[in-house]
């Protein structure tokens, strides 16, 4: 599963994608980057022996006590439910914007 940077930040429970952009700029997530029509996409799942993006980010960042990283793994039901919930929120938002 691939996500753009803001969507990946949402799934990892970040308020903004700034931390992911910093890691990308430093080249620390190069193994997770896929370019598609000029857009940067991040591989969320594990590939071969590499860990999921959540595990990689967790190993690279010092976390503050109040922030809890969601250990997103596209093969687990809890993560799939988060995707479904996010999709439903987007569709509801689109419907309400269309009515206005």
CA–CA separation, 67 vs 20, rounded Å?
Answer: 15
**Domain residues for 8?**
2-99
DSSP 31-42: GGEEEETTEEEE
pLDDT of residue 64: 60
CA distances from residue 99 to 85, 89, 92 in whole angstroms, order as listed: 21, 16, 11
What distance, in Å, lies between the first and last C-alpha atoms of the chain? 33
How many domains does one find in the chain?
A: 1
| Dihedral sign computed on CA atoms, order 22, 27, 6, 8 | negative
The pLDDT-based confidence of 93 (bands split at 50, 70, 90) is confident
pLDDT in tens, 21-79: 999 999 999 999 999 999 999 999 888 888 999 889 888 886 665 556 777 888 888 88
């Amino acid at each position: 599963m691939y996500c753009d940077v803001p969507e990946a930040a949402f799934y990892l429970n970040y308020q903004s994608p700034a931390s992911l952009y910093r890691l990308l700029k430093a080249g620390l997530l190069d193994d997770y980057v896929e370019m598609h029509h000029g857009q940067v996409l991040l591989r969320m799942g594990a590939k071969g022996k590499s860990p999921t993006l959540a595990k990689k980010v967790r190993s690279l960042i010092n976390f503050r006590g109040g922030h809890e990283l969601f250990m997103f793994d596209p093969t687990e039901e809890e993560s799939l439910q988060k995707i479904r919930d996010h999709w439903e929120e987007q569709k509801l938002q689109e419907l309400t914007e269309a009515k206005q």
